[in-house]
Homo-oligomer: A and B are copies of this chain.
């Protein structure tokens, strides 16, 4: 079986591997569309999760079920499915506690191209098929569906962590594909004004289409100043962080009202500490609440998001700016994510 892999830190290439062993609750899936993610870039070139040798990359895929274990109830070969980036162990204590994405240890619900081979392969393995696959209706095309693996649930989880309420004014920091979905999520979660921070023209355009009411461009002054101006000095009710770095939290705390909430879904890859500005955090007394977390995975989440697609609430396919036909283009697509040309939001590779 062929796959496109991280050969070691800083190097990618094709590998030939055995197909993974199939447990009684597992499935093997043949991808029909895959999408590289900034995480893949971090994994390979920043060594974000440490060294890996010949590990197949990728965690965003839709495909066709090839084979299932004997205890799988609801899926059979030939079924069209979407596979979440996070595939928890549902009987773990962490899942029982409501944090399935940390099943087996912090972040360990993330298995693809982390603890096992990813989805940039002719076939890939899914643990707990009944709990982690979702049937894909004919009405949803691959381009849209593959955005449900990670971009939509991650962006929407930022909205959930920030706990947006009717009429809230919301700052979304970062309008790459995840931030754009955070904008879309905030808009259908009841936000009134949405201030989207970014500067790339096609991202700005899509942010507006997805519900941003105002754009904050770094070039026009600090985020703090622009938020102050937009809110008459009062600050925002909620912040979703979908970009930036450790110090983005300093900005978030500064622009937030007391009692406000921060939902972070930006993976912080570098540095020792996130810093919280003591005084603006009310000396620890401000009720400015800070939450950050990996997206929830699993089947139910996929089904809920699919329902938002089929009912026309969201159009995540609009994130896709670059489409490739043929598995052999996966490297090209990945390099796009690495090089981030100006007109890129998200590339996709069809494998069929």
Q: What residues make up the interface of A, taking CB atoms closer than 8 Å to B? A: 23-25, 48, 71, 90-102, 105-107, 128, 130-131, 156, 160, 165-169, 185, 187-194, 213, 241, 246, 249-250, 258-259, 264-279, 281-287, 289-294, 298-301, 303-308, 310-313
Contact = CB atoms under 8 A, between A and B. Distances in A.
A269 B289 CA distance: 19
Contact of A192 (B96, B250, B293, B311): B311
A283 B293 CA distance: 9
A313 B192 contact: yes
A88 B166 CA distance: 20
A277 B270 CA distance: 11
A278 B48 CA distance: 12
Contacts of A90: 90-91, 95-96, 131
Contact of A273 (B167, B270, B277, B298): B277
25 contacts: A25-B25, A25-B91, A90-B96, A90-B131, A95-B95, A96-B301, A98-B98, A106-B282, A107-B286, A166-B189, A167-B307, A185-B190, A192-B304, A192-B307, A192-B313, A250-B273, A265-B284, A270-B278, A271-B278, A272-B279, A273-B275, A273-B276, A276-B290, A284-B292, A289-B291
A189 B190 contact: yes
Nearest to A105: B258
A110 to B, nearest CB: 9
A283 B269 contact: yes
B266 A284 contact: yes
Contacts of A289: 289-291
> Taking the full assembly, how many copies of this chain does it contain?
4
Nearest to A276: B274
Which 7 residue pairs are nearest across A and B when measured between Cβ atoms? A167-B304, A91-B131, A192-B307, A99-B259, A102-B258, A287-B293, A96-B300
Contacts of A169: 307
Contacts of A106: 258, 282, 286
Contacts of A189: 166, 188-190
Contact of A188 (B188, B246, B292, B308): B188
Contacts of A276: 249, 273-276, 290
A194 to B, nearest CB: 8
Contacts of A194: 311
Scoring A91, A190, A289, A307 by chain B CB atoms within 10 A of each residue's CB, the highest score goes to: A91
Contacts of A241: 284
Given A273-B275, A289-B289, A290-B291, 7 more contacts: A90-B95, A107-B258, A167-B303, A167-B306, A267-B285, A273-B273, A286-B293
A274 B267 contact: no
A183 to B, nearest CB: 13
B24 A97 contact: no
A23 B274 CA distance: 46
Contacts of A287: 99, 101-102, 291-294
Nearest to A130: B91
